[in-house]
Structure 1
């Protein structure tokens, strides 16, 4: 029996192992992270299996082409008199395709861009000025239902998993836009302290990891504090707290070194219920 389990896990890991990606481009000037602006969050459609915000689903099809007519109508690409959500059978069929996406298929929200987004492969700030490497590491941790955990892959992932990852990245930047508007001192601190910026992204990402694409564990989910999911409740409570004056004071204490990051996390997690 132990031998059978080992073989099963080896098969799963082998299935998900892929060739290494090309090396990350870096050291090109780009001011995305100091150009963050206030941006509203689009409510998520409750009947989409990925539970990704509508904006993520629509951006995906707008930038990848071959948009089915039902999707185009749902996203408002053209008018045919019907704005009904995408039928579940259609979206499930669209998403149930072989692995075809890598982190270079991501986009980053960019208010200064005419389209509001920019390709991830142009997001080339070095690590001491960005969270690029954190986004890539997060993207490459793919949930495997047979293992009930995420494993790291270096190749392609499915459309549904890609949209799930894009949704989290979108909601993190949306959260940063809100911080810039409501707590500019915290925002400026994160722009000048990349260590804490990266730690904070990973802290939030940990709530999302080891969850399937249907989980919907994102920042800014409406009424997320009342969700049946403990992870979504906690992510909502702690992220919203950090947008208050008390949360800003806690971040400044972390920045000054008066508390450690472990203590910072413990104080936030103690607010969860």
Structure 2
């Protein structure tokens, strides 16, 4: 059965006189990883807590398909809070199995499920170690296992890559990509924009409690591409420095990065073909960090 789309529509929230969410609307589609980014205080954690029913919104709705999200729905969601909540004295496998039993697994099934998931996350040799004996990065992996243990179809992760080294980031990312490929809807926040850019299918950029940009990663990169182009010729492209309407930003023999209006860029392409041929000509798409800076200003 396909998971319905999780949709937030017009969410508002205030703490006293301070309004922290201003009509927030976006969707988390099944089978896709949605990156949720914004500066400290932008409203990401508040939004996640409203989705999970930990906080009540002042206005707006959270729905699965056309149905308002209920407490029964939320019991099936997976959640990884930014503040970690595992029992430090418990052994890793026992901790994750305990959480599986809370979701209805019998003892044997819970232990098997915990072992399989921890091995998938690279903790197979640490099953009998206590949580507190693990490094912070391995505690983070155990926390991811806790969020995934009941195989949720909606997964909300607050800073899942915090404290992980690059190899551990890759392990956790691959686990999440497999869950998305199996149909789960995954919303994750992170300050590590390079990781978000590599991992997400869709992106929501938040600032001051408002959505400043939302869409697929590729759509946003195209929308914010601007007027920069890369050209790689089959011969030296030094003539580009004299081209009308062109500002050259970098130049290395047969390769150049330049800025120009669309018509001037097309004239560059035509000239390059005449001057010796073209191996590559394409607009340069901005990084997520560049888009983020642009839309929150």
Structure 2 length as normaliser, TM-score?
0.23
- Judging by fraction of residues, say which structure has more helix: 1
Structure 1 length as normaliser, TM-score?
0.24
- Judging by fraction of residues, say which structure has more strand: 2
